[in-house]
Amino acid sequence: MQDRKLSMMPVVFTMLPELMILRGMHDHGSDDIFIIVTDMKRQEMDDVTEYFKLVCRHAFRRTCKPSIERQIQHEHMRLSHTLVRQRRTPCFPQIDLAFRAILYEKKPPFIVLFSHQTTSYSQILFTHPSYVPSEEIYFDFPSGCPNPCCNDDCEMIRFPRRGIEGAVVLSIKRGGRCGRKIKPKEMCNWIDCNISFNEESPNTTENGEGSQSSADSGEASTGVGGLVCSKCRLVKYCSAEHQKKDWDEHRRVCAKPGGGGGK
């Protein structure tokens, strides 16, 4: 068992860039990342993912219908027998109990089902659509796989580069006493600035007089909601001074919109 743990460390390290990005997307008072380690293969991982989607959609903080309850029990029994026959550890009841406990008590933005099988992958299950990375920013994010011919089928963790379309989002009932309502908030892109823009303000208007030189230099166009980078139009600043300070960092990722359409 010790040898298995040692051999898994390089695999875990390949997931760290994705996990750090997901953890840093929202500040909700917890820096914990919850990873359930399994040895499931690809089809088993897909079946378990569909099971948790079914449970959260019909039973999490909801009154479950008898027909749905029977369906959940049948899927639970089928998955338990499947993993027992293949001698998977931990067994499915342990995975199910751990997943439900983390989801109910910790209320994390996402849970990772990690598998060290070479023919499988690790799945990210998000608890709200706002926790899914934006397609406009992460469409060309590297996979972290050392294989230069890596594609979406061979990567270690299924990082959703295409936004909601490629993500697994659990349908969890929120609001009121059962949970906090999530409100998106736009902030100045300069790392040392904590100013947030008024959500009720109209969208920032584009500067029609902007030239190609201003786009290449990353200058900002002025609008009601702040200053927007005229090249990528993805980030905002509260002042021209903060936009200038952030340019050395932002220029590395700044690109004209639509640049990843053919990828």
Residue with tokens 């600043």: 237
pLDDT in tens, 159-174: 888 888 889 999 887 6
- DSSP 8-class letter at 127: S
Q: Tell me, what's the pLDDT at 253?
A: 86
Q: What is the mean pLDDT of residues 53-70?
A: 89
Determine the pLDDT at residue 210: 35
pLDDT of residue 59: 85
Contact 110, 91 (CB under 8 A): no
Query: Is residue 150 classed exposed, middle or buried when 0-12, 13-18 and 19+ CB atoms within 10 A define those classes?
Result: middle
The predicted model gives 123-142 an average pLDDT of 84
* Out of 51-65, 94-108, 180-194, least confident range: 180-194
Contact predicate 102/34, CB 8 Å: yes
Chain mean position to CA 234:
18
Contacts with 206 (C-beta within 8 Å, 6 or more apart), sequence order: 221, 223, 228, 230, 233
Higher-pLDDT residue of 14 and 222 is: 14
Q: What are the tokens at 262? A: 């053919």
Residue 31 Cα to chain centre, angstroms: 14
pLDDT band per the 50, 70, 90 thresholds, residue 118? confident
pLDDT value of residue 25: 75
Would the pLDDT of 145 be above 50? yes
Higher pLDDT, residue 183 or 5: 183
pLDDT confidence bin for 138, thresholds 50/70/90: confident
Instruction: Return the minimum-mean-pLDDT range out of 38-42, 49-53, 147-151, 229-233.
Output: 147-151
**pLDDT one-digit tens code per residue, 201-244:** 445 544 333 333 344 444 444 444 688 998 888 889 999 999 99
**DSSP state string for 133-176:** PPHHHHTT-----S-TT--TTT-SB---TTGGGG-EE-----SG
**Residue whose pair of structure tokens reads 């995975």 in the numeric block:** 95
